[in-house]
Structure 1
Amino acid sequence: MDARDFIKVGMSAERRLVVPPERTVGHFVPGMPMVYATPMMILEMEMASGDAIGAALQPGWVTVGTEVDIRHLAAAQVGATVRTTAQVIAVERRVIRFEVEAFEGTRRLGEGRHARGLINVELFNRRLAMTPGAGL
């Protein structure tokens, strides 16, 4: 399957999250500040990217994250509303590239690039099952 047939540059999505304590650095690392954790921001960027193209995917096909190049620019506290955006900037045969950003109001919290690979779930699971040590 060729993503260029159904994914178009400019497709986009946005997500909003009120930062809960369990998405903070301090939740994962005792003694650290209770501010929005970088991996959690990246998770929202990946989810927004998936949302941007999800409706265009054929049944049995999904995308998985393959690359992240993100800068975390500012902290957000528990209770802050974070808006995350993703926009398709390039489409290759099996790779979709995104520009991603995160904001609290107009303040930019993070920015960067993300790529997702197009996979057939059944074939992927079959290959995974044949891989020695898979699932350990």
Structure 2
Amino acid sequence: MPGLARKIGLPLAAAALAVLTAVAPATAAGTSGAARQAAAPAYFTMTDITGARFVLQLTDAGKIAHARALLSGETTDRPHVVGRIRKVPAPYNAPWSYHYQPETVDFFDVAIEVCDAVIPYVEDHLDEAGGPFLPGLVWCPWTSRLVNEL
């Protein structure tokens, strides 16, 4: 799907991404947003096809349970990570200059191309994130997978 944004127009691609990320958190775990429960933060390491490691924080009990189920092999559903990034470092995610906003992190099976990028590429192009590259700062690395809980 190279050139998706050029073919259908960046505004339409951004709108599709907004729908994807607005709907996914409320429906992905099969619960409504009101049914979500805050939990003590849990930290997980993810990797991608490059082998780079990236730490994310989860604060939603259902998402923490899903992450643990992925790691234990209890489920293979929605194995990839999606969420909005912040262009500032987090103390738990060295050496990267960005991190996921914990309240936006969720899991997915498939996503549109406009939010896909590997961990080092995001770092190298962080100044461009939020425009045509990662519109809305939504990042969904297609090859992401959790490797452990810290």
Compute the TM-score of the two structures, normalised by the length of structure 2. 0.25
Compute the TM-score of the two structures, normalised by the length of structure 1. 0.27
Higher helix share: 2
Structure showing greater Rg: 1
